[in-house]
Structure 1
Amino acid sequence: MLPGIVALGFATSLNAQTAAPPPLPPLDLGQTNILDGEGRPGALLELIAFGSTADRLADAAGGAAPGTNRQRVASFIVHPIFVADATIAGAHPGIELLVPVSRVENQFAAGGSGVHIGFSDITVAPFLQWSRSDPGPGSVSARLALQIVAPVGDHAPVRPVNTGQGGWQLSPYLAVTWRASRRWEVSGRAIYDWSASATSRMNGCAQIRVQPGDLVAVNLSASYALSDASRLGIGGYGLQQLSLSRSARASLPESRQRIYGLGPVARWHVGNVTLAPAAFVEFGARNRPQGVSLNLRLQRPF
């Protein structure tokens, strides 16, 4: 069975039609951490609760945007996973599905304020899993996946706040775990994201096509086994937008986003259930809200 660590998370950026650049798509920022690269054949159901609060909106230079700016996000994600017994090039093939429901509340001085509750876009991710059935000291496990995000979430260009992006998204990722010793492990995940254009309404104008820029995100964590059933560690993440966002096919100057986060992560087993809480404080933001985020993952193998 799966040990309960093949997982994806959910995070959202500014999702409103404002004077700011087009919002980046929801992304895993720190939700996957301890033992992320490990996995084995079987089925797993994961439930993810995510929440974030931000009372600061950073501009392109990292300074605070003028006026009152705040964002509140709450999400619940159903995440089934299956890994086959068969092997391809020494790896077990698998597939995972993420179905999120979200509540987004924005209050921005530049406009685009409001509240919306609804389904977010659904992710389907085929992957290959390289991992020993009993990883020990010195072992390395890895998973290579292609996340395909279908724009089926709630999205309306006339609405200032949405829970869906309105466009397709492709996000390959590589997750790796190194068992440094009998008790220490180090895990990381690198994500590249490309988003298609979507219809939007910027600054109350006519509907146009907007496209977020390509981006890369990295999750890193290190944990220590307090016992066979519990681990405690520190995790962090970084996001950097690589290319400029576009509006009506024209590049938007100074539209790149950036954010970093750092905080405690933990993991423990209670019977057949695994609980994995994490909390992060953000810093270094550019063109996006900056605050704190919390998430709790509950995993049950079958």
Structure 2
Amino acid sequence: MVRDVKGVGAVALALSMVVSAPALAKEGGDQYPHGGEGFMAGAVPPPGFYLLGYGVDYRGELVDADGDEVAFPGQDPISLRVDGIAARAIYTSPYQILGGYWGAHLIVPFFDIEVDAGVMSQRKSGIGDITFSPFILSWHWPEWHLATAVDIYAPTGRYKAGDLANIGANYWSFEPLVAVTYRNADGWEASGKFMYNIKTENPDTDYQSGDEFHMDYTLAKNFDNWAVGVGGYFVHQIQRDEVNGVEVADSIRKSFAIGPQVKYDYENMSFIAKWQHEVYSRNTFDGNRINLKFIYAF
């Protein structure tokens, strides 16, 4: 079912709040690439310096609180395309705190996004919101790996209030997280990265996006240099959005995605590819995502 949207002016305002960043939902959008982690998510690498590369390709259509596609009368559903790459540097020190290795990381993304509403469309490219954490702790046991951190998302991406699509979210957010991996001697693996995102208010719109819980997950079998499995992500907004302190009705968004994934290790490098299909979406975009990841150890 496709729900028609009446009133171009009202929809332009709604779209500027719904799709104003490259990661798909609510005012300001996401600053985290859902599904980006999975294999060995809890296993922060041993002391040393590591360079990681990420790639994402996403295609989806906007859906409402009932899961119905949203469109202008006589137009195709409102759609979003996201293509992005990101460079990530990780440093794990030889120093330990509470038995865990201390580390830090920095992520710089670049996005090319396009929103098409039929009667209007917009495309933008540029550096997105930078992520960093000066404090990562990781522990390792024979079959278990555990990591904790607080990621900080800085509003470094280009943003203009009222635009249909924006690269940046225009607010800071803070994300405590726990990542855990279990991998036994037979190569069976279960990994999860659990995050709680706390957002600040967008100063240009006085819009406060609600906090949300989200996670990436993987179930896989490792053999020789290969690993294959299934994985995806789950997103659940905990609080309603607010404008000037007033709650926004029907602003809770949810997503669940699943799909196949594969990893190949070669000497000091790893290559990961994933396809993730959103089987359940509310108040966000609904579609398919390809995630790529490259790891290089110096």
TM-score class, shorter-chain normalisation, is 0.7 to 0.9
Residues 293 and 14 (structure 1 numbering): CA distance in 2 closer, same or farther, change over 3 Å?
farther
Q: 1:142 to 1:112 in 2, by over 3 A?
A: farther
Residue 49 of structure 1 corresponds to which residue in structure 2? 55
* Secondary structure of 1:155 counterpart: coil
2:129 corresponding residue in structure 1: 121
3-state SS, counterpart of residue 238 of structure 1: strand
- Provide the residue aligned with 1:205 in structure 2: none
Corresponding position of 2:8: none
Give the TM-score taking structure 1 as reference length: 0.86
1:16/1:113 contact within 8 Å kept: no
Amino acid at match of 1:271: E
Matched residues in 1 for 2:79 and 2:33: separation?
21
* Aligned residue among 27, 33, 36 for 2:41: 36
Closer, same or farther in 2 for the Cα pair 1:184/1:236, shift >3 Å?
A: same
Q: 1:21 touches 1:252 (CA, 8 Å); kept in 2?
A: no
- For residues 136-175 of structure 1, the C-alpha deviation after alignment (integer angstroms, 9 at most, x for no partner) is xxx2110001001111111111432111010101011100
| Corresponding residue for residue 200 of structure 2 | 196
With over 3 angstroms needed to count, the CA separation of the structure-2 counterparts of 1:93 and 1:112, relative to structure 1, is farther
Partner residue, 2:88: 79
Q: Which runs of 5+ in 2 are unaligned?
A: 1-16
1:14, CA displacement in angstroms?
4.7
CA contact (8 A) 1:33 1:265 kept: no
- Name the structure 1 match of 2:210: 213
Q: Which amino acid in structure 1 is aligned with residue 67 of structure 2?
A: G
- Describe the superposition over 1:257-296 as per-residue Cα deviations: whole angstroms up to 9, x where unpaired: 1111000111111232210111100121111111000011
Q: How many residues in Structure 1 have an aligned counterpart in Structure 2?
A: 273
| TM-score between the two structures when normalised by the length of structure 2 | 0.87
Instruction: For residues 232-269 of structure 1, give each alpha carbon's deviation from its aligned partner in whole angstroms, at most 9, with x where no partner exists.
Output: 11102110001001122211011011111000111111
Residue 103 (structure 1) aligned to one of 102, 112, 131: 112
How far apart, CA to CA, are the structure 1 residues paired with 2:212 and 2:70?
Answer: 23
C-alpha contact 1:122 1:150 (8 A) present in aligned 2:
yes
Tell me the secondary structure at the aligned position of residue 130 of structure 1: strand
Name the % identity.
24
SS state of the match for residue 24, structure 1? coil
Aligned to 1:257: 253
Partner of 1:70: 79
Contact kept, 8 Å, 1:267 with 1:274, in 2: the verdict is yes
Closer, same or farther in 2 for the Cα pair 1:158/1:66, shift >3 Å?
closer
Q: Deviations over 1:163-211 (max 9, x none)?
A: 10101010111000011342111101111001111145xxxxxxx3111
Question: Following TM superposition, by how much is the alpha carbon of 1:26 offset from its aligned partner in structure 2, in angstroms?
Answer: 2.3
**Aligned AA (1:88):** I
Matched letter for residue 82 of structure 1 = Y
CA distance, structure 2, for counterparts of residue 267 and residue 187 of structure 1: 14
Over 3 Å counting, the alpha-carbon distance change for 1:93 and 1:106 in structure 2 is: same
SS state at 2:96 partner: coil
Secondary structure of 1:219 counterpart: strand
Counterpart contact for 1:92–1:130, Cα < 8 Å: yes
- 2:228 pairs with one of 220, 232, 235: 232
Q: How far apart, CA to CA, are the structure 2 residues paired with 1:37 and 1:31?
A: 13
Equivalent residues of 2:20, 2:167 under 8 A apart: no
Whole-angstrom distance in 1 between the partners of 2:249 and 2:291: 33
Where 1:86 maps in the other structure, the secondary structure is strand
Matches within 5 A, 1:122-141: 122-125=130-133, 126-132=135-141, 135=142, 139-141=143-145
Q: Which runs of 5+ in 1 are unaligned?
A: 1-12, 201-207
What's 1:5 paired with? none
Greater mean deviation of Cα atoms: 153-162 or 37-46: 153-162
AA matched with 2:49: A
